[in-house]
Structure 1
Amino acid sequence: MKRLGLLIICLTLISLLAACGLGTDNTMPPSPLVQFQPTLQTNVLWSHNVGDGNGGYYLRLVPAASNGVIYAGSHKGVVTALDAKTGAVLWQVSVKQSITSGLVAGGGNAIYFGTGNAKLFALSMQNGQVLWKTAVADEILAQPQYVNGTVLVHTLSGNLAAYSAQDGHRIWSFDEDVPSLILHAAGQPQIAGNMVIAGFANGELVVLDINSGQVIWEQHVAYPTGDNPISQMVDITVNPVVVNGVVYAATYQGQIAAYSLDNGQLIWKHKISSYAGITANQSQIFVSDAKSRVWAFDEEAGAVNWRQLQLLGRGITGPVIYNDALVVADSYGYLHFMSLADGHFLARVSIGNGALAQPISYLGNLYVYTSTGTLLAIHSAKK
């Protein structure tokens, strides 16, 4: 109860600090949209309303994609399957519970997601029928992960558990202590070979054996500093990234760090604050920071290659790489396309409403799910 009480206090401070809160940074006005000459041709292929979106809460309801179909869930419990090319609705169901996580597709036959009342659902890809549901440790805000018949779930209370994709029975469970005051978000566990990589609200990065849940190594990406609970928050709410045998993780009010996947040895670190997301290609690590600046770091040495500062205060999502561009959505209804080489703007697209969920790249298109429940398919090409 103490943790939940403090979390409620944290969420009421959003308008003062944008600290626990995420989304737009109310301590600064949004940067105006700068003028530039677009070098990409962008087209909205289709858009469709699929529910109430995140219902006004900070929920990163990332859609799932599989076999030419996009699956999206809304806070009020509506799940919709749409043809990825045409946007035609294939089916729509209501699970009558609040969906609080993104969706993940797995095994060619099911999609998985979490709810606010601590349930993990499996729905048939074919018709949306509930295949099974099971109770978990706490509210699920992190997008589940699927690998080889196993669904991995990271709950708000610091529990990471593996469940059978066939019937939902629990295979193993791991608990990490979390502070009293935490961000209302969590990162999706990532997979590398037989390892599960997850970040927690205490700033700890943990690598576990996927079969047993035994810890292989763990590292503190950041330690709490400051003289009050808010300044001591160092949550890892972004999804870790693995590239070329190196794990990259970033914390709120802390740093981004690179570790050897094999043994957890620190390779480099850099001070930063991020809750939105990171992504990578084979040479650079890209980060959206807490003030909506976009950073590009050299993968090997950690040097800053470039920063894009003209989105300050716009509440951007984590970045995604799409068609040789880096793309973020913002909380004011725009998609921003940037050069991977130096961060300059390539294109901008109005999406009508803001987005919290990181866009996804699939079958040559970009899919964006807005906070009010509109799913859009966008295509870009060089002019």
Structure 2
Amino acid sequence: MVFIRKLGLVLTTLMVVACASDPTSREPARLTDFQAEKKLKEAWSYSLGDGQAEAYHRITPVIDGEEIFIASSNGKIAALNKVTGKKIWKKSHDLRISGGIGVSGTMLFVGTSDGEVVALDRLTGQIIWTTPVNSEVLSAPQSDGDVVVAQTYSGEVHGFSISDGKPLWNYISQVPRLTLRGTSTPKIVRSVVMVGFANGRVVAFDIENGAVRWEQRISVPQGSTEIERLVDVDGRLLVLEDGQTVIATGYQGQIMAIDIGSGRPLWGKETSSYVGAASALGNIYVVAADGSVNALDGNGQGARWTQTVLARRELTEPVAFEGAIGVGDFEGYLHMLAQVDGHLIARTRVDSDGLRAPMIADGKLLYVYGNSGELAAYKLQDL
């Protein structure tokens, strides 16, 4: 049963509150007791602005060097020491931030609900340039140091000069009448930028001029209703350690491994997901739309395990951390599952407003950005 109660859906230009595709869908699974094997200990926390606010945003922090950068929907941006959480600087701008933070060299980038791509000074948080686009930006703009790439909710991809924000190229995709509330985040590998679209495709562009390198369909619309035909590729694309393979997930479609150089599919498995995947121990970990957490063999030959105890809890993108897989849920709980077989090993509540943004694992710390605007760093320790 596909549960999409809080995935903001859009029909033409009208936002409607989504309900389950089947009105008889069950409620989210209740949390069950388990024998904890680890504990999640908070190392530090920092509160910023309104967080995700009431909109269905997934504003995601970013780590670069020794700093972690965060933003809130009401225009606040801060730089923190990633180990201690100590504030380096904080700025407030008249921006309705809707896309998470991108970073390249001495610059940061955010997107807004008002259809803007904004570049800021990494050292001070001051705005360097602002360039308008035709609709809101729901994911973090990305850059290779020369070109900034941003995707809009209307299905366009734009390339801008990093120095002054001057438009360099753009691409327009065909957007279905009904889509999930969100977009994929552009992924840059060498001279190629890859983007997932609401029409179920992943397209790779030459980052310098926007020429299409290749195109691969992840999901094919099926069914008789608009909801049944949703095929968005909204989850973040995952580049494997070999630097040659990208993993894409599609709603009501499949998870697919694609050769970055040619666009050739290496393997695919039917799975419906609206968040990105994670990799560790030779496995690919994916959260299905029904809330099951799945470990797939890295070569696509089969499933290692499936955990259904968190069904319909609107889970975040999974993250591999300290021999475990972490997922957050709509009630703000952070769950840790054993990588080897998926059983629960630890749990803590981070934010009563819920968790939605992808988490970040870096060294011995796991960074979790709650919907209310609190960023917390956790250690996973033995009991």
Query: Same fold by TM-score, threshold 0.5 exceeded?
Result: yes
Q: Which residue of 2 is the match for residue 314 of structure 1?
A: 313
The reply to whether residue 255 of structure 1 matches residue 254 of structure 2 is: yes
The alignment status of 1:6 with 2:4, answered yes or no, reads no
TM-score by length of 1: 0.91
C-alpha distance in 1 between matches for 2:145 and 2:295: 33
- The 3 A distance-change label for structure 1 pair 302 and 261 is farther
Match of 2:379 in 1: 379
Deviations 1:56-87, CA, capped at 9 Å, x for gaps: 11100101222322221111111122222232
Aligned partners of 1:162, 1:282: CA distance in 2, in Å? 36
What amino acid maps onto 1:311 in structure 2? L
State whether residues 143 and 187 of structure 1, in contact with CA within 8 Å, keep that contact through their aligned partners in structure 2: no
Q: Secondary structure at the match of 2:163?
A: coil
Deviation at 1:100, TM superposition (A): 0.4
Aligned: 1:33 with 2:28: no
Equivalent-residue separation in structure 2 for 1:135 and 1:308 (angstroms) = 44
Shift of residue 307, structure 1, vs aligned partner: 0.9
Letter in 1 for 2:316: T
Is 2:370 the counterpart of 1:365? Answer: no
| 2:302 is the counterpart of 1:303 | yes
Aligned position for 1:183 = 180
| Equivalent residue number for residue 19 of structure 2 | 15
Q: Per the alignment, in what secondary structure is the counterpart of residue 19 of structure 2?
A: helix
Deviations 1:146-178 (A, max 9, x none): 223322111111111222222212222222111
What amino acid is aligned across from residue 374 of structure 2 in structure 1? T
Equivalent residue number for residue 351 of structure 2: 352
Aligned counterpart for 1:55 among listed residues 49, 53, 56: 53
Aligned equivalent of 1:193, options 190, 203, 220 = 190
Q: Distance in 2 between matches of 1:361 and 1:301?
A: 24
Change (3 A) 1:301 1:15: closer
Quick one: distance in 1 between partners of 2:227 and 2:316? 22
The 1-side partners of 2:256 and 2:348 are apart by 32
- Report the counterpart of residue 98 of structure 1 in structure 2: 96
**2:147 and 2:207 in contact (8 A); partners too:** no
Deviation, 1:38, is 2.4
**Alpha-carbon distance in 2 for matches of 1:4, 1:291:** 21
How many angstroms apart in 2 are the aligned matches of 1:5 and 1:223? 19
| Cα distance between partner residues in 1 of 2:309 and 2:218 | 28
Following TM superposition, by how much is the alpha carbon of 1:326 offset from its aligned partner in structure 2, in angstroms?
Answer: 1.1
Which whole-Å deviations, capped at 9, do the CAs of 1:34-55 have from their partners, x for residues lacking one? 2222222321012222011111
Q: Measure the CA separation in 1 of the matches of 2:345 and 2:225.
A: 42
Structure 1 pair 324/291, CA: closer, same or farther in 2 (3 Å)? same
Q: After alignment, is 369-378 or 72-81 more displaced?
A: 72-81
Q: Is the 8 A contact 1:159 1:175 kept in 2?
A: yes
Output the amino acid matched with 1:268. Answer: W
Q: Which residue of 1 aligns with 2:3?
A: none
CA distance in 1, matches of 2:68, 2:24: 33
The change in CA–CA distance for 1:7 and 1:278 in structure 2 (over 3 A counts) is farther
Q: Give the whole-Å Cα distance in 2 for the aligned partners of 1:339 and 1:5.
A: 40
1:226/1:7 Cα in 2 relative to 1: closer, same or farther (>3 Å)? farther
> 2-side partners of 1:192 and 1:110: how far apart?
19
Query: Which whole-Å deviations, capped at 9, do the CAs of 1:101-140 have from their partners, x for residues lacking one?
Result: 1112211x22111001111111222221111111123210
Q: Tell me by how many angstroms 1:282 deviates.
A: 6.1
Q: Aligned AA for 2:201?
A: E
Query: How far apart, CA to CA, are the structure 2 residues paired with 1:77 and 1:43?
Result: 30
Does the Cα contact within 8 Å between 1:59 and 1:185 map onto a contact in 2? yes
Q: Partner of 2:231 in structure 1?
A: 234
- 8 Å CA contact 2:237, 2:247 repeated in 1: yes
Contact 2:250–2:273 under 8 Å retained in 1: yes
- The answer to whether the 8 A contact 1:325-1:338 is kept is yes
Q: Give the superposed CA RMSD.
A: 2.1
Give the CA deviation at 1:26: 9.8
- Structure 2 Cα separation of the partners of residues 302 and 75 of structure 1: 41
Deviation at 1:211, TM superposition (A): 2.1
Deviation at 1:311, TM superposition (A): 0.6
Report the more deviating stretch, 277-286 or 267-276.
277-286
SS of residue matched to 2:98: coil
Provide the rounded CA distance (Å) in 1 between the counterparts of 2:233 and 2:10: 18
| Counterpart position of 1:21 | none
Structure 1, unpaired ranges of 5+: 19-24
CA contact (8 A) 1:7 1:181 kept: no
Hey, what's the Cα distance between the residues in 2 that align with 1:194 and 1:333?
A: 38
Alpha-carbon contact 2:51-2:372 (below 8 Å) kept: yes
1:69-148 equivalence runs, <5 A? 69-107=67-105, 109-148=106-145
**Helix, strand or coil at the partner of 2:366:** strand
Pair 1:46-2:52 in alignment: no
Deviates further, 51-60 or 341-350: 341-350
Q: Percent identity?
A: 32
Q: Distance in 2 between matches of 1:26 and 1:293?
A: 19
